[in-house]
């Protein structure tokens, strides 16, 4: 067993709520979550990041400035994370920084995660590994999801077939069979449409516990038309994001007479159906399911999942030793370690890449 190594993982996802920072200790094949930190986006940064998902005026300069702002926030998260545990920057092997996705178009051969990793390395005096997705896409992969490789390392069982579900802005799953290859793919919208709709209707950033959605009813015709999106019938490997599922797409399916709470409940059902259909089709021998990501705390959504997947125990990844809110951050710490050791970080079975690839660009401290 090798000497313990410390890595930091940084994740800011499609939900656009803020930055998750995690400190992970690796020792041999084992990993342990040491400390966590969350810093929210201020409203101006959140609004700009959302706007950059679409073409707009002066977007090259705006993207660069937003990347600098993100790097500054990432650095603050790292400083506070380490300070709270009295750990010096020199003790950290590297930071794994996912960056903020503003475009994801593997169909066109590119993806864009901003965050100015070079500036982050300067601000922290720590080596930074970033831009994990581009190499997989260059190898004809989807560039996402990347977390299944970490799920396999951290959560596999020799006795039970497990599914790990991450519900962020987009939902994805990892299939961990006791025999056979690990697979995984994006399933569809997780929180992004839910958050967008409630923000428009009620001026709040998210529907805590799905409380507002629970006051509404499912609109069958709307659900049917939303599920008719061709993404749901595409075979894996596949990935998606705001490029396909966004507020304007939802608006094309509304006539304006729908009760807003009913729309929210229908969007909960959409997210739950996308996941349950994927599991029933591709993971039919599932023994247990573990949830992570912000959507794991949406009671309305998790209740629907339990109804749609009867007989399968559904719990949080906390039961497996990594808190549901911190799994993705831990995954990018793990991916940074793989990059620093010159080891592949992707699973071709998941992304569709031509083969295993070392992921990430390294900015030495």
pLDDT at position 317, please?
98
- Predicted confidence (pLDDT) per residue in 195-239, tens digit: 999 999 999 999 999 999 999 999 999 999 999 999 999 999 999
> Residue 148 pLDDT more than 80?
yes
- Predicted confidence (pLDDT) per residue in 33-72, tens digit: 999 999 999 999 999 999 999 899 999 999 999 999 999 9
- Predicted confidence (pLDDT) per residue in 262-302, tens digit: 999 999 999 999 999 999 999 989 999 999 999 999 999 99
Rounded Cα–Cα distance for residues 221 and 57 (Å): 37
Proportion of the chain above pLDDT 70, given as a percent: 99
Give the domains, in start order, of the chain with CATH numbers: 5-142+339-363 (3.30.420.40), 147-320 (3.30.420.40)
pLDDT at position 313, please?
98
pLDDT at position 28, please?
87
* 1: confidence class by pLDDT, cuts 50, 70, 90: low
What is the DSSP code string of 201-232?
Answer: HHS-S--GGGTTGGGS---HHHHHHHHTSGGG
Two tokens, residue 5: 């190594």
pLDDT at position 3, please?
82
pLDDT at position 49, please?
95
Pinpoint the alpha helices (H) of 139-259. 147-155, 192-202, 220-227, 247-251
- Predicted confidence (pLDDT) per residue in 111-134, tens digit: 999 999 999 999 999 999 999 999
pLDDT at position 14, please?
85
Two tokens, residue 88: 């010096």
pLDDT at position 13, please?
85
* 4: confidence class by pLDDT, cuts 50, 70, 90: very high
Cα distances from 114 to residues 24, 42, 100, 135, 314, in angstroms, run: 23, 17, 5, 15, 34
Average pLDDT for residues 320-329, to the nearest whole number? 96
pTM of the model: 0.94
Exposure b/e, 32-54, CB count within 10 A at least 16 = b: ebbbbbbbebeeebbebbbebbe
Two tokens, residue 56: 């707009």
Average pLDDT over the chain reads 96
Rounded Cα–Cα distance for residues 63 and 86 (Å): 34
pLDDT at position 29, please?
85
Rounded Cα–Cα distance for residues 181 and 167 (Å): 22
> Residue 316 pLDDT more than 70?
yes
Rounded Cα–Cα distance for residues 347 and 217 (Å): 40
* 177: confidence class by pLDDT, cuts 50, 70, 90: very high
Tell me which residue has tokens 């030495």.
Answer: 364
Burial label, 113 (beta-carbon count in 10 A; 0-12, 13-18, 19+): buried
Average pLDDT for residues 146-163, to the nearest whole number? 97
pLDDT at position 15, please?
85
* 90: confidence class by pLDDT, cuts 50, 70, 90: very high
Two tokens, residue 337: 């370690």
Rounded Cα–Cα distance for residues 251 and 258 (Å): 11
What single-letter DSSP state applies at residue 9?
E
pLDDT at position 2, please?
65
């Amino acid at each position: 067993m090798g000497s313990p190594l410390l890595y930091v993982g940084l994740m800011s996802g499609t939900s656009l709520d803020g930055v998750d920072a995690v400190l992970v200790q690796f020792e041999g094949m084992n990993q342990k979550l040491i400390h966590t930190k969350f810093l929210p986006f201020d409203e101006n940064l959140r609004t700009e990041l959302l706007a950059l998902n679409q073409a707009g005026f002066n977007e090259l300069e705006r993207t660069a400035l937003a990347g600098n702002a993100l790097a500054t926030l990432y650095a603050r998260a790292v400083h506070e994370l380490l300070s709270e545990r009295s750990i010096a920057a020199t003790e950290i092997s590297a930071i794994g920084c996912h960056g903020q996705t503003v475009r994801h178009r593997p169909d066109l051969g590119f993806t864009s995660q901003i965050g100015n990793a070079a500036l982050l390395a300067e601000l922290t005096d720590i080596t930074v590994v970033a831009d994990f997705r581009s190499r997989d896409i260059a190898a004809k992969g989807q560039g996402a999801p990347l977390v299944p490789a970490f799920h396999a390392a951290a959560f596999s069982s020799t006795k039970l077939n497990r599914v790990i579900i991450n519900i962020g802005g987009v939902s994805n799953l990892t299939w961990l069979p006791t025999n056979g290859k690990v697979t995984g793919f994006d399933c569809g919208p997780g929180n992004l449409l839910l958050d967008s709709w409630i923000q428009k209707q009620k001026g709040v950033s998210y529907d805590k516990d799905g409380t507002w959605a629970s006051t509404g009813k499912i609109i069958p015709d709307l659900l049917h038309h939303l599920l008719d999106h061709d993404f749901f019938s595409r075979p894996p490997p596949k990935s998606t994001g705001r490029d396909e599922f966004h507020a304007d797409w939802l608006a094309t399916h509304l006539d304006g007479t729908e009760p807003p709470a009913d729309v929210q409940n229908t969007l909960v059902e959409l997210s739950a159906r996308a996941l349950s259909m994927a599991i029933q089709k591709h993971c039919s021998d599932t023994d247990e399911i573990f949830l992570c990501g912000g959507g794991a705390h949406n009671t309305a959504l998790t209740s629907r999942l339990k109804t749609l997947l009867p007989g399968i125990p559904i719990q949080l990844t906390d039961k497996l030793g990594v808190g549901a809110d911190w799994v993705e951050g831990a995954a990018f710490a793990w991916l940074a370690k793989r990059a620093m050791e010159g080891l592949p970080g992707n699973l071709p079975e998941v992304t569709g890449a031509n083969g295993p690839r070392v992921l990430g660009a390294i900015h030495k401290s």
